[in-house]
């Protein structure tokens, strides 16, 4: 029975049927332990690869500008196409993820994004780039919703902060690979390699995901996770449809979503334009800028994990106190990063603290708190709704930052283009973090459903 359900390659997205219930506690514990470790590791690594096919535009902007292929306003538009489609994809695919086999849905999303990257590496047309990055953005929206839905099947409410923090470290892994490996390939082989290499790699990863990732525990004859952990069921919503509608009716989730959108103004401001800022404002090379921001991704890896433990253990599962603590430190780091002295060690320290704290905030506002407040039957919907609103903020930032930077782009005597003033976008990015922190503080008394 176990082998029959372990790898299903029929092509159907329908969830697997419950298997015959296993009665031996030793077998149940052994399978649960192995499958949970495999699920968490697999989801984290697969979602990290989603970022390699999403973040490549961040490191090839300078080569594309210097080659005269796109200007900053066009790059802002292309980036906005991805983020706008990603917002819609988060919402729609979150709705779908609650109704399908999440593991297989995840693999399909990564495959289509990989193919869009391969096509992008063969293209120089602006409108085609917009179309390809729109497709990429939509299918990128599969990643988070399907991953979180799968996590809620295998981990209980009391474990969620720690597990979500570990999984959320995927964005640091993916961005780190983009800032180092992809940037190195671009320097050696040109901008096309930045799209082609992660595209081909993710085709292989998507195929592997079909074999590695798991369906629900019940498919393998295992009990529901709350039953196995001996935790009470406090979720009384009977149907998936009612649970999803309950997400949209919850005012606290709307506040969380707007706060997340403001945080995404900062996140994508630094993520999308940080390499360019370090090159034009601080004088770094492409590899130097990528290496410096790699510090941000390394610290982010530990920050998301630390947030999960701080909120679960120190604050007994309460997210708002941990969010306020991380938010205050993140704003302070931004001021040092953009207005501090031109000292590499101080700059590196600011980037480290920024990445560490941002990843924790990203974990909670970007989905964890909304999932806490929702029924497990609507985990995908909660994640998708938060993502939809969040990326509307990212879209506005992307287009606005690109337009502001274009107004301050000058042509140097050697024929390269240089941005001589980042002050307006920086004010936008820092303002987003401050507003997000203050709005999130209004959720101080909100508690998790389970």
Q: For 341, phi and psi rounded to 5 degrees?
A: -65, 160
Among candidate residues 93, 146, 85, 382, the one with its CA nearest the CA of residue 253: 382
CA distance 75 to 370: 32
CB 213 within 8 A of CB 150: yes
| 346 backbone dihedrals φ, ψ, rounded to 5° | -65, -40
Supply the pTM of this predicted model.
0.73
Q: What is the pLDDT of residues 226-260, one digit of tens each?
A: 788 777 666 566 677 787 788 788 888 899 889 99
Rounded to whole angstroms, the Cα distance separating 354 from 266 reads 11
**Mean pLDDT in the chain?**
83
Query: Measuring CA to CA, which residue among 199, 233, 247 is closest to residue 53?
Result: 199
Q: Evaluate whether 240 touches 377 at the Cβ level (below 8 Å).
A: yes
pLDDT at res. 307 = 81
Burial 171-204 (b: 16+ CB within 10 A, else e): bbbbbbbbbbbbbbbbbeeebbbbbbbbbebbbe
Two structure tokens written together for 60 = 């090839």
Mean pLDDT, consecutive 10-residue stretches, the chain (450 aa), reads: 40 75 88 91 93 86 86 86 87 84 90 95 92 95 86 81 80 79 86 92 93 86 81 65 80 89 90 82 79 80 80 75 89 92 87 90 76 75 83 84 80 74 88 92 71
Distance CA 196, CA 188 (A): 14
pLDDT at 422: 85
How far the first Cα of the chain sits from its last, in Å, is 32
Which residues are 411's β-sheet partners? 417
Dihedral class, residue 22 (left if φ above 0, else alpha if ψ from -120 to 50, else beta): beta
The closest of 28, 13, 12, 9 to 220, measured between CA atoms, is: 28
Residues 357, 364: Cα–Cα separation, whole Å: 11
Q: Which two three-digit tokens encode residue 223?
A: 């009990």
Q: Which two tokens stand for residue 132?
A: 């390809």
Q: Beta partners for 418?
A: 410
DSSP state of 15: P
Question: What residue has token string 């964890």?
Answer: 368
């Amino acid at each position: 029975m176990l082998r029959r359900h372990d790898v299903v390659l029929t092509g159907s997205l329908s969830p697997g049927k419950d298997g015959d219930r296993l009665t031996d506690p030793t077998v149940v514990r052994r399978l649960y332990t192995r499958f949970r470790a495999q699920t968490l590791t697999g989801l984290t690594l697969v979602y990290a690869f989603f970022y390699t096919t999403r973040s490549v535009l961040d490191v090839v902007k300078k080569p594309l500008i210097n080659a005269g292929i796109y200007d900053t306003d066009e790059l802002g538009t292309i980036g906005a196409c991805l983020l706008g489609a990603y917002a819609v994809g988060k919402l729609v695919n979150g709705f779908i993820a609650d109704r399908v086999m999440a593991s297989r849905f995840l693999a399909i999303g990564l495959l289509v994004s990989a193919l869009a990257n391969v096509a992008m590496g063969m293209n120089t047309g602006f409108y085609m780039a917009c179309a390809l990055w729109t497709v990429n953005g939509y299918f990128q929206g599969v990643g988070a919703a399907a991953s979180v839905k799968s996590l809620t099947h295998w981990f209980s409410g009391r474990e969620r902060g720690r597990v979500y923090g570990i999984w959320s470290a995927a964005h640091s892994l993916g961005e780190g690979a983009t800032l180092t490996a992809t940037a190195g390939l671009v320097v050696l082989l040109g901008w096309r390699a930045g799209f082609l290499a992660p595209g081909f790699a993710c085709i292989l990863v998507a195929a592997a995901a079909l074999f590695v990732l798991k369906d629900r525990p019940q498919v393998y004859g295992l009990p529901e996770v709350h039953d196995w952990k001996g935790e009470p069921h406090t979720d009384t919503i009977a149907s998936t449809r009612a649970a999803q509608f309950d997400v949209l009716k919850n005012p606290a989730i709307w506040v969380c979503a707007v706060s997340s959108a403001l945080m995404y103004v900062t996140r994508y401001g630094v993520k999308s334009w940080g390499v360019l800022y370090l090159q034009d404002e601080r004088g770094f090379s492409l590899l130097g800028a990528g290496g410096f921001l790699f510090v941000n991704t390394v610290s982010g890896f530990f920050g998301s994990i630390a947030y999960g433990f701080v909120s679960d253990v120190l604050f007994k599962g309460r997210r708002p106190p941990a969010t306020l603590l991380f938010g205050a430190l993140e704003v302070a780091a931004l001021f040092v990063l953009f207005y501090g002295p031109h000292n590499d060690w101080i700059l590196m320290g600011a980037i480290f603290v920024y990445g560490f704290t941002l990843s924790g905030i990203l974990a909670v506002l970007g989905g964890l708190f909304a999932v806490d407040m929702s029924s497990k039957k609507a985990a995908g919907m909660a994640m998708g709704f938060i993502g939809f609103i969040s990326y509307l903020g990212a879209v506005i930032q992307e287009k606005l930052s690109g337009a502001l930077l274009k107004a301050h782009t000058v042509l140097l005597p050697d024929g390269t283009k240089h941005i001589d003033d980042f002050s307006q976008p920086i004010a936008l990015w820092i303002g987003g973090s401050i507003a997000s922190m203050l709005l999130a503080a209004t959720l101080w008394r909100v508690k998790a459903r389970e």
